[in-house]
Amino acid sequence: MARVVIVGGGISGLSMAWHIKRLKPEWDCLILEAGKRSGGKAWTAQEDGFLIEKGVNGFLDNKPATLELIRQLGLTTLKSRDAARKRFVLKHAQLVKLPETPQEFLTSPILSLPAKLRVMCEPFIPPKKDTTDETLADFAIRRLGKGAFEWLIDPMATGIFAGDPHKLSLKTCFPRINELETTYGSLIKAMLALKKKAKKQGEEGPKGAGPGGTLTSFRGGIEEMVEALRLGLGDSLRLEAEVKTAIKKEDGWEVVLSDSSVIEATHLVMAAPAKDVSKIFLKAIPELASLTASIDYPPVAVVALGMKKEQISHNLNGFGFLIPGRERRKILGCLWDSAVFENRAPDGYALIRILVGGARNRQMLSLDDPALLNIALKDLNDIIGIKTDPDFISIHRWDQAIPQYVIGHETKLKKINKLLKQEKRLYMRANWLGGVSLNDCVANSENLAKQLASK
């Protein structure tokens, strides 16, 4: 009988195990999580009447794999409020609402008139001739102009990856955008063509440059999904089970835990952070260890604050704001969680989360909590105005936050996949390959589960 051992109990590992147990109930499936809890960066805490997301705060409801998993788990989703569609960018120390439609773009102060004209010239910019990788910054400047890059694309890279757009790879971070240029020669031409195609099929086409969908969570936060998976997997999930090394065997693998116990596996799935994979395969596959060790995870801190609404000058009617690099602020941005979802703060209070650190501000995470809090409060006061100290404070640090898909990441993944093809029943499924979002993790894990079950 097959025994699938999954190393890593984040969303990738949990959803992978769920699908394997549904597809192959006769198989023995075991998830080994090194920490005291599972769920990875999907982690909700309830403190003093506030519901705080320590990591991811939801998912877009436009991906069928996540919605189907939620249906199987029997969960009821919670849609974000209409205010969540309003997103802001800091420009010259002032919050500017991002345009939601082409008509709003024309009148928005987010770009100067010359910058808007440059964007409208995009259909006449020739597509890139070669297939070499290109940074997100180089792509955006080439196709849309410097203004659009600085005030639109740069903060998007901050919001998704906490990354540096001058290093992030377009092909691996946003493969769909790369595909649109390759196929249609222009992003605007692609939008028009896709709308026309959708209209012929009686469907609604893309409305803008964003990913679409509605931000969605659960009344009890993203932890509801994690808890449902935990309950469904039962004894298949083992916590505080740290894998130290993996050993090749003729008919599969053995994993050695920190307590020196040994577990045999016919199929071994690594759903752990890249640096953990590197340590585990240091002896068995040195080249794999080297490749995964080089994947960067900058640190990020989440500073959650609870304050009476009357003590905040801004009305917080929106999703929050992101800060472009040229603003030279010490925080990355701020999420207005109590405006986005109901039930996040007591009556009369607001819950906001400030993000600090990332690829361009790593040094911020070397500060202690009081210093980190002071920096967050100073920037927050400058931007939205706060009249008193917060009533509630919670700080959570992610030493390894979001894997960076930098230039060369695609080549690295190709080498890793080549190595995996040479090994017997060894697989990788985590957010350092195939997308960093919760939707990506769920869809990729389901696909791998189906692949294993079909063999």
pLDDT tens string 5-33: 999 999 999 999 999 999 999 999 999 99
Same domain, 112 and 194: yes
Among 139, 167, 200, which residue terminates a domain?
Answer: 200
Residue 436 reports pLDDT greater than 90:
yes
Percent of the chain's residues with pLDDT above 90:
91
Tell me what the pLDDT averaged over the chain comes to.
94
Same domain, 154 and 237: no
Of 162, 131, 144, residue with least CA distance to 105 = 144
Same domain, 119 and 195: yes
Residue 41 reports pLDDT greater than 60:
yes
In a domain, 56, yes or no: no
- Per-residue pLDDT, averaged over 62-89, amounts to 95
C-alpha 335/C-alpha 360 separation (Å) is 19
- Identify the pLDDT of residue 203: 64
Neighbours of 30 (CB within 10 A): 19
In a domain, 36, yes or no: yes
Token readout for 120 is 């409208």
Q: Are 345 and 306 in contact (CB under 8 A)?
A: yes
Residue 246 reports pLDDT greater than 90:
yes
- Per-residue pLDDT, averaged over 348-360, amounts to 96
Same domain, 116 and 32: no
- Per-residue pLDDT, averaged over 61-65, amounts to 93
- Identify the pLDDT of residue 206: 52
In a domain, 215, yes or no: no
156-189 pLDDT, tens digit per residue, is 999 999 999 999 999 999 999 999 999 999 999 9
In a domain, 74, yes or no: no
Nearby residues of 378 by Cβ (< 8 Å), 6 or more positions away: none
CA dist 333 to 70, 147, 154, 265, 296, Å? 30, 20, 12, 44, 21
- Per-residue pLDDT, averaged over 310-320, amounts to 95
Residue with token string 């990875």: 40
84-120 pLDDT, tens digit per residue, is 899 999 999 999 999 988 899 999 999 999 999 999 9
In a domain, 230, yes or no: yes
Same domain, 377 and 408: no
C-alpha 318/C-alpha 363 separation (Å) is 29
Residue 440 reports pLDDT greater than 90:
yes
3-state DSSP helix/strand/coil percent for the chain, to nearest 5?
40, 20, 35
Residue 208 reports pLDDT greater than 50:
no
- Identify the pLDDT of residue 199: 76
In a domain, 65, yes or no: no
Q: Are 158 and 358 in contact (CB under 8 A)?
A: yes
In a domain, 381, yes or no: yes
Q: Are 255 and 268 in contact (CB under 8 A)?
A: yes
Residue 210 reports pLDDT greater than 90:
no
Among 200, 232, 250, which residue terminates a domain?
Answer: 200
Same domain, 147 and 177: yes
- Identify the pLDDT of residue 209: 43
In a domain, 212, yes or no: no
Give the CATH number for residue 261: 3.50.50.60
The sign of the dihedral angle between the CA atoms of 34, 38, 39, 40 is negative
- Identify the pLDDT of residue 1: 76
- Identify the pLDDT of residue 204: 60
Same domain, 268 and 146: no
Residue 159's domain comprises: 103-200
Same domain, 343 and 422: no
pTM summary value: 0.92
Among 398, 421, 442, which residue terminates a domain?
Answer: 398
Same domain, 420 and 290: yes
Total tally of structural domains belonging to the chain: 3
Same domain, 367 and 424: no
- Identify the pLDDT of residue 244: 97
Same domain, 272 and 413: yes
Same domain, 159 and 118: yes
Give the CATH number for residue 336: 3.90.660.20
